[in-house]
Structure 1
Amino acid sequence: MADATPSQSAPRDLAVPLERKVPTRVKFAFGFGAIAFGIKDNGFSLLLLIYYNQVIGVPAAIVGAAVLIALVMDAFIDPIVGHFSDNLRTRWGRRHPFIYLSAIPAGLFFLLLWNPPEASNTGMFFYIFGIAFLVRATMSCFEVPMAALGPELTSEYHERTRIFGLRFFFGWLGGATMLLFTFAVLLAPTPEYPNGQLNPAGYSDYAIIASVIMSSVILLSALGTHSEIKYLPKVERVKMTLGQTFRGIFGSLSNRAFLILMLGGLCAYVSQGISFGLLTYFITYYWQLDSTALAWYIFVLMFGILGAVLGSTWLSRRVGKPRAAMLCLLLAVALQPIPYIARTIGFFPENGDPMLLPSILVFLAIGTGGLVASLILKSSMLTDVIEDDAEKTGRRSEGLFFAGQFFLQKCVSGAGVFISAAILTAAAFPDQAVPGEVADTVLRDLALIYVALIMILGSAAAYFMNRFPINEDDHHARIARMRGLTETT
């Protein structure tokens, strides 16, 4: 289908997005901004805990609690941003003013997160909590409006999967490339720090580079999608108080499709949070690999993510989005635990064996790719829920629904960091540990708890995704009814 022009627009009385292929440059601009999200998210998931715990010496429980509380509190910012974004009316549309205004503060607060003052453990708790909250809150002003822009660009069923696939790809590409550079260059081994990931100077350089990139890509993404404002649905302003907005989020749980999607997402995001929260610990202490191995892991992982972006649309065309999401999750459940189970029973290369790293990479990269593919499909499925709600209520509430998704995602990703810290505490993992000197029983307990949790969570997520009730035929029939092309039954 050719790109739509103003003369080809569909009737606008029901504010239905154009059914079209989005121009390639706009799709890339929409996805490009997610680089900032990827850098921020990977920084929180993979670096923050080990930096404050093993480099600075703050107890893991304090770091985990500070991040959890900050993320849970920040999650309440998302509905506020979604509320104002849905109801803002400017010559720059509903979404872009928030995106432009978020760029500089997001980078500045991220820089401060990695440059803490000298303080007691109590002081560190409040510093981590406060700055982490500000990073997340300013990023919400970008994430929620930009995600809400996605379903407004097109109502074409599979095109939405493609544009959200690009968003996930750039998010992972940005986060992974920044991590690759960080581990390969900034945290490379030195005579003073043979385990480069324990070098404090590297984190300071990381913060400067990452913050500049984050602010830049947010601005470029806003500029690259600015031309689409004139094609977006023109909707009437709905007067709602913030209290009504919060009640609307929780009331949306009465929508069976949204409830199922959020339950599946809850399990998947917690599993992802635990996996990333412990990854650096496993690489450094369990497998006893250096930062070069982490760089290789990130490099290979990108092939898994590219496969997720391409495979999610291909698979959903053949078996539908819900079943495709379930199959991708089962792939992750089957492959991610294998290295740890095989090591426990004595059927995996020993530490120092040349085959160790390639063996780990195969299972973790493909397994993580399966998890990412399921999350791409989940975002695309959420746009189907939004159309279902629009038909029933007569309101377009993309910001509200994506705020609800981010509300859940942030709560459970915070839970992932907190659970990671709790697992370390339960396994009696020492602070400022030396690789090679952690007791085998501690490492074994750490691995077994991790494997049990991700298998349970992944299986539960697959179950919920497969029960999602909206398919492609439902979507096309709904769009036709909303455009007045068929009789409403």
Structure 2
Amino acid sequence: MVETGKPSLATRLAYGIGGAAGGIKNNGFEYVLLLFYSQILGLSAVLVAAALWIALLIDAFSDPIVGYWSDNLRTKWGRRHPLMYTAMVPVALAYFFVWNPPAGLSGMNLFAWLLGFTIVVRLMYTFFEVPSTALAAELSQDYDARTSLMSFRYFFAWVGGLTVQVILFFFLLQPSEGDPSGFFHLPGWHTYGLIGASCIFGSIAIMTLGTHRHIPHLKAPPPLRKLTPLRVLGEIWETVSNPSFRALFIATLFGLLASGISATLNQYINGFFWEFTSDQIGGLTVAVYVSAVLALVIAPMVGRIFGKKRAAIYIGFLAFTIAPMPVILRQFGLLPPNGTDLLYMIVLCVTVFDLALIIAYQMLAASMVADIVEQNELATGRRSEGIYFAGISFMRKLAQGVGVLTASGILAVASITPGMRSSDASDEAVRTLGWGYALSLLVLWMIMMVCISFYRISRADHEANLAALAAGGAGAEQVKP
């Protein structure tokens, strides 16, 4: 009997904990890697951005390959789990070495080290990310249960990433005279890499082992057929031509361009624009735990009330207009001066509320991808969960790469150079940084909301797709976990 109910709590927890690996990796690469390699190790920000972008570009093209392979793989452990097991050790080791380059390495040698290990991290993480996200569409066909699964995944992604970053700012970066932020304490960064790598390994292991028992009940690969390069390309093109997928695909492009800029410039906004101390930045990070908990409640609730598309639009519009507002208000002199407790509390409250909405939007958007699977199965006779989530992952990586490059351009225009400290930045440089950050986010996020409005699958559409598949006998049987 096809499962239509909610997966058990144990299944949702195991699936969700797997998201922590991505949260840790993404937080490291998007929030502090540019800071570490440029400001601390002295590598040009342009070279850091180039290394990250090249690694993203190479990895992005692995997504459709891994996605298609994951959809069609035939083993005694099913389609997804063999790839997930393969990723565990290599991705953890490579992540450790990213944050532990040999002492004295500099210039192009440091660039080569960064490039090589970021490529390995991203390629091997794809072997986990694509098949594991595809599992959401197989563990349940229920419209709301999929939102619950994705809510757990994004909750643990944020909590995992935040926890390791809290450890970095509160316990590993030790302030000293001339370095009140503690950013230049190298042993702390090296330990951060070790902790992050260990948690990535544990997260992948828990998710993979925790869902292993469901392998016999997951969807089977499509029937054997003669596959040629042209046929593979044709099937991929047929799959991604779904109108609702195109809407999410393009929305993801603009949304993640904004996310890449936001994540890369986050520490610069906190350090240069607001002039927060490392303790204050750590406090902002800790407060976002509240955001993740709120999102875990908000996303399923508004999804049930409004349906996923309308809920995503409502939440997204509210969240993405609030996000840059403190910076814009400061540009017009409408906020208290830097160094005041009132300013910090305003930024803290806005951050908690806004991030809760942003995380909830991400949960809903991810669940919307899963609902395309049955519509595609009706049209093509194939289940292509891997291709769909690989497509979103592909766009995520390209967009974030361009976002990092754009952020580096904003830093260059603002004349914020490698090794510069906040006290050395001119007022004009800080204003330029603020405008570049706020306006780029506002424009890109608004374009994203327009794109997602073209998504076409409602709750009624999803239920009709399931009924049509049941009537036609399509799909493999699945039992309740």
Q: Distance in 2 between matches of 1:271 and 1:181?
A: 26
1:49 aligns with 2:34: yes
Give the alignment of 1:238-249 within 5 angstroms: 238-239=224-225, 240-241=227-228, 244-246=231-233, 248-249=235-236
Shift of the alpha carbon at 1:249? 4.1
Cross-structure match for 2:477: none
* Larger displacement relative to structure 2 (247-256 or 374-383): 247-256
Which of 134, 155, 167 is matched with 1:181 structurally?
Answer: 167
User: 8 Å contact 2:17–2:203 — kept in the other structure?
Assistant: yes
* Residues 59-92 of structure 1, C-alpha deviations (whole Å, 9 max, x = no match): 1011001101110110111222212211111221
Give the alignment of 1:322-361 within 5 angstroms: 322-361=309-348
* Larger displacement relative to structure 2 (30-39 or 112-121): 112-121
Q: Distance in 2 between matches of 1:331 and 1:97?
A: 41
Which of 143, 146, 152 is matched with 1:166 structurally?
Answer: 152
Q: Distance in 1 between matches of 2:152 and 2:236?
A: 27
* Residues 79-110 of structure 1, C-alpha deviations (whole Å, 9 max, x = no match): 22212211111221111111112111110000
Residues 1:347 and 1:226: Cα distance change in structure 2 (over 3 Å): same
User: 8 Å contact 2:21–2:203 — kept in the other structure?
Assistant: yes
* Larger displacement relative to structure 2 (393-402 or 185-194): 185-194
Shift of the alpha carbon at 1:281? 0.8
Cross-structure match for 2:78: 93
**Structure 1 SS opposite 2:134:** helix
* Residues 420-453 of structure 1, C-alpha deviations (whole Å, 9 max, x = no match): 1111112211221122220010110111011111
User: 8 Å contact 2:336–2:342 — kept in the other structure?
Assistant: yes
**Structure 1 SS opposite 2:154:** helix
1:20 aligns with 2:5: yes
Identity percentage of aligned residues:
33
* Larger displacement relative to structure 2 (241-250 or 340-349): 241-250
Cross-structure match for 2:457: 470
Q: Distance in 2 between matches of 1:317 and 1:129?
A: 44
- Whichever residue aligns with residue 313 of structure 1, its letter is P
* Larger displacement relative to structure 2 (477-486 or 71-80): 477-486
Cross-structure match for 2:305: 318
Give the alignment of 1:126-141 within 5 angstroms: 126-141=112-127
- Whichever residue aligns with residue 394 of structure 2, its letter is F
**Structure 2 SS opposite 1:484:** helix
**Structure 2 SS opposite 1:171:** helix
1:294 aligns with 2:281: yes
Q: Distance in 2 between matches of 1:58 and 1:193?
A: 19
Which of 109, 133, 142 is matched with 1:147 structurally?
Answer: 133
Cross-structure match for 1:64: 49
Q: Distance in 2 between matches of 1:233 and 1:251?
A: 20
* Residues 251-286 of structure 1, C-alpha deviations (whole Å, 9 max, x = no match): 544321111111111111111111111111111111
Shift of the alpha carbon at 1:193? 3.3
* Residues 292-321 of structure 1, C-alpha deviations (whole Å, 9 max, x = no match): 111111111121222222211111222221
Which of 289, 299, 305 is matched with 2:292 structurally?
Answer: 305
Residues 1:314 and 1:191: Cα distance change in structure 2 (over 3 Å): same
Which of 379, 385, 398 is matched with 1:398 structurally?
Answer: 385
Residues 1:136 and 1:191: Cα distance change in structure 2 (over 3 Å): same
1:205 aligns with 2:191: yes
1:264 aligns with 2:251: yes
User: 8 Å contact 2:320–2:445 — kept in the other structure?
Assistant: yes
Q: Distance in 2 between matches of 1:211 and 1:165?
A: 24
1:227 aligns with 2:213: yes
Shift of the alpha carbon at 1:250? 4.5
Residues 1:224 and 1:363: Cα distance change in structure 2 (over 3 Å): same
Q: Distance in 1 between matches of 2:234 and 2:361?
A: 28
* Residues 377-422 of structure 1, C-alpha deviations (whole Å, 9 max, x = no match): 1111111111111110000111111111111111111122111111
Cross-structure match for 2:403: 416
Residues 1:242 and 1:296: Cα distance change in structure 2 (over 3 Å): farther
Q: Distance in 2 between matches of 1:127 and 1:287?
A: 33
Residues 1:43 and 1:244: Cα distance change in structure 2 (over 3 Å): farther
Cross-structure match for 1:14: none
**Structure 1 SS opposite 2:471:** coil
User: 8 Å contact 1:329–1:461 — kept in the other structure?
Assistant: no
Cross-structure match for 1:38: 23
TM-score, structure 2 normalization: 0.94
Q: Distance in 1 between matches of 2:129 and 2:229?
A: 19
Residues 1:247 and 1:310: Cα distance change in structure 2 (over 3 Å): farther
Cross-structure match for 1:6: none
Cross-structure match for 1:452: 439
* Larger displacement relative to structure 2 (194-203 or 154-163): 194-203
Shift of the alpha carbon at 1:467? 2.4
1:111 aligns with 2:115: no
Shift of the alpha carbon at 1:192? 6.4
Cross-structure match for 1:426: 413
User: 8 Å contact 1:322–1:467 — kept in the other structure?
Assistant: no
Q: Distance in 1 between matches of 2:473 and 2:199?
A: 48
Residues 1:44 and 1:429: Cα distance change in structure 2 (over 3 Å): same
- Whichever residue aligns with residue 39 of structure 2, its letter is Q
1:84 aligns with 2:75: no
- Whichever residue aligns with residue 140 of structure 2, its letter is T
Q: Distance in 1 between matches of 2:454 and 2:300?
A: 19
Q: Distance in 1 between matches of 2:224 and 2:420?
A: 55
* Residues 110-158 of structure 1, C-alpha deviations (whole Å, 9 max, x = no match): 0111122344422222222211110001111111110111100110000
* Structure 2: gaps of 5 or more residues: 475-481
